[in-house]
Every structure is written in C-alpha cells, then in structure tokens.
Structure 1
Amino acid sequence: MNWSDDEYERRRIERAKELYPSGTRVKMIQIDLDSPVPAGTKGTVKFVDDRGFVFPAWDNGASLGVAYGKDRFRKLTEKETLEEQEESQRMGMDMGM
C-alpha cells in the first residue's frame, strides 16, 4: 500500500489520539531539545492536538507538548500506574489523611 504524505500524517495523528487519551500516564525518555522535562519525568495526558502533539501535565509542573513519532516517551504500564496509586495512598496515610 502506498499512502500519500497527507494520508500518512492523518493516520499518525489518529493513532496518537488512540494511544494517548486524556488521563493516560506517560514517562519522558528523551527529547531532542533543551527541555524543562528531563528524562524520567512523568505526566498525565491532557489532550492530543490536531498535529499529533501529546500535551501532558508534567509532574514537575512544566508545560511541554511532545511529538508522537519523534520525541521519545511512553505510556506507564498498568503495574507502574498501580504502584503510583499505592504510593500516593501510603503518603496520604502518612500525612494523616
């Protein structure tokens, strides 16, 4: 199958929106620019725009969209997400909540 550039781009953006719905937890692996989001930083996806940029609310407070298919980031596994939730609950109990 030989897709046009427009068709390839449309499918890339569609795929980004499928993979990273709002609320998805992600982790930065590497980005090609001097970034306020270092490798290892986690965040929660707010939205994917019509150009295929994924916009998380990064846990370090930074605002930076990442380019699906170019920048290196990944979804947290179900196990990682559960571990985060358990840690958050433990911290809440430690603070008397």
Structure 2
Amino acid sequence: MKPNCNLKAGDRIRLLSMDDPDPIPAGTIGTVAAVYPQSDWTQVDVDWDGGRSLMLSIPPDQVQRIDASPQTQSGE
C-alpha cells in the first residue's frame, strides 16, 4: 500500500516531525527539491530555509504543505 504523499518539486512545506538522529527542528520550512516514490514509502529531497539539505522518509516523517504565496496584510 503506497503512502499518501502528494508532494511535488517546488512545494513549500513545514516539518511537523522527523525520525532522525540529528533531525531538522519541527516547524522548519523548506522547498521540495525532488520526490522519489518507493514501494511503501516516499523519499523527499528538501532544501530547508536554514541552509540544510536533509531528505525526508514519509512515513514516518510528517510535513504540512503550506501556501507559497506572499503573506498580505489586508483587513479582510
């Protein structure tokens, strides 16, 4: 059964959790560089905003796709 990983290159993501001995801190934002589906998991290459480049393994790592558009300061 394939994991539900609908990420694509260029997506902006926020890390929720990472199962790694030296993890990227939760809450860190990055840009998906490439996605490599495997049989029952997905490897995701991410360029993190802090300068680090560490791949995700989904599952167990968890991310949230975020809106890449600039934030606006409207009253609406």
Q: What is the TM-score when the length of structure 1 is the normalising length?
A: 0.60
Q: Note if 1:33 corresponds to 2:23.
A: no
Percentage identity across paired residues of the two chains: 28
Contact persistence 1:42–1:59 (CA under 8 A):
yes
Structure number with greater CO (CA < 8 Å, separation at least 6) is 2
Supply the RMSD in Å over aligned alpha carbons: 1.9
Q: Note if 1:24 corresponds to 2:11.
A: yes
Question: Is the partner of 1:38 in helix, strand or coil?
Answer: coil
CA distance in 1, matches of 2:31, 2:51: 11
Q: What is the TM-score when the length of structure 2 is the normalising length?
A: 0.74
Runs of 5+ unmatched residues, structure 1: 1-7, 88-97
Structure 1 residue ranges (4+ consecutive) displaced by more than 4 angstroms after TM superposition = none
User: Normalized per residue, which structure has more helix?
Assistant: 1
CA distance in 2, matches of 1:62, 1:55: 11
CA distance in 2, matches of 1:65, 1:32: 11
